Amino acid sequence: MKIKNIELEQVAGFREQWPSEDLPELAFVGRSNVGKSSFINSFLGRKKLAKTSSVPGKTRTINFYRINDKFRLVDLPGYGYAKVSKKEKAKWDKLINEYLHQREALREVFLLVDIRHEPTALDKQMYDWIRETGFTGFVIATKFDKIKKSQIQKHIKQIMKKLEIDDEGLIFAYSSETKHNKDVLEEQVDVIVNY
Ligand code: GTP
Ligand code: MG
């Protein structure tokens, strides 16, 4: 896939701001701070496109990136961030769930987990929903550059166990620093948007 054209098409704080459903969409979900926005930046080769932060809770809207006028990548707020008010949390959850449940253009949902940590109960719940809804169940294990090579298999196995994944081919270790596995994910995205 050659990326010729990227546009931040819409920053949506509520449903009425979603773009029309004329293109297939791929969404990235996961805990706050797991690296969703960083993934989008590194995948698109644009360092500062999506705003990122070392402090969880950076993305608070649904951001639609229009690629080659052919498909959209969708950056969502994170879940599970303890340090926000109940009201704020409920607002983000509503945004995320409304999008995931009601968006017909949604073709695939990628779950992002931090390769260093065991997925949480919320990750499991999200993953179960992804599978039950009929999406493939791709997992991107982020921050791959932060673990020792000798530890990789142990961490991948831990993720597979917690999320009850049998097929290791569904998990992509990824680093937004080194872009490890970007090529493989590009192929996957190609398959999805051309299907
Ligand atoms: P929210 O918008 O708050 O839900 O977070 P997010 O999932 O979008 O995370 P974000 O991309 O903002 O990244 C959070 C922090 O992790 C930032 O400090 C990033 O620089 C860092 N980070 C993300 N991915 C990687 C990675 O692959 N390797 C390393 N070393 N750091 C990463
Ligand atoms: Mg973000």
pLDDT in tens, 112-124: 999 999 999 999 9
Asked if residues 171 and 160 have their Cβ atoms less than 8 Å apart, the reply is yes
DSSP strand pairing (62-67 vs 6-12): antiparallel
Q: What is the pTM of this model?
A: 0.97
2 Cα to the center of ligand 2, angstroms: 24
Assigned token pair, 52: 């990122």
Residue 74 vs residues 37, 152, 161, 167, 194: alpha-carbon distances, Å: 9, 28, 28, 25, 17
pLDDT at residue 195 is higher than 90: no
110 Cα to the center of ligand 1, angstroms: 15
**Residue range 20-71, pLDDT digits in tens:** 999 999 999 999 999 999 999 999 999 999 999 999 999 999 999 999 999 9
Task: List alpha helices for 2-149, DSSP H.
Answer: 36-44, 86-102, 121-133
Q: If you search the block for the tokens 């990326």, which residue do you land on?
A: 3
pLDDT at residue 109 is higher than 90: yes
What's the pLDDT band for 2 if we cut at 50, 70, 90? confident
**In 3-148, where do the E strands start and end?**
6-12, 25-30, 62-67, 71-75, 106-114, 139-142
Q: What interhelical angle do 121-133 and 152-163 show, nearest 10?
A: 70
Judge if the beta carbon of residue 107 lies within 6 A of ligand 1: no
Asked if residues 89 and 81 have their Cβ atoms less than 8 Å apart, the reply is yes
Judge if the beta carbon of residue 34 lies within 6 A of ligand 1: yes
Residue with CA at minimum distance from ligand 1 atom 25: 143
Task: Among the bound ligands, name the one nearest to the CA of residue 34.
Answer: 1
Report which residue type is found at 49: L
* Residue range 89-97: mean pLDDT, rounded: 91
pLDDT at 81: 86
pLDDT at residue 182 is higher than 90: yes
What's the pLDDT band for 1 if we cut at 50, 70, 90? confident
CA distance 165 to 101: 23
Report which residue type is found at 188: Q
Judge if the beta carbon of residue 137 lies within 6 A of ligand 1: no
From 38, 51, 174, the mutation candidate for ligand 1 (largest count of ligand atoms within 8 A of CB) is 38
**Residue range 125-179, pLDDT digits in tens:** 999 999 999 999 999 999 999 999 999 999 999 999 999 999 999 999 999 999 9
Task: Among the bound ligands, name the one nearest to the CA of residue 84.
Answer: 1
Judge if the beta carbon of residue 35 lies within 6 A of ligand 1: yes
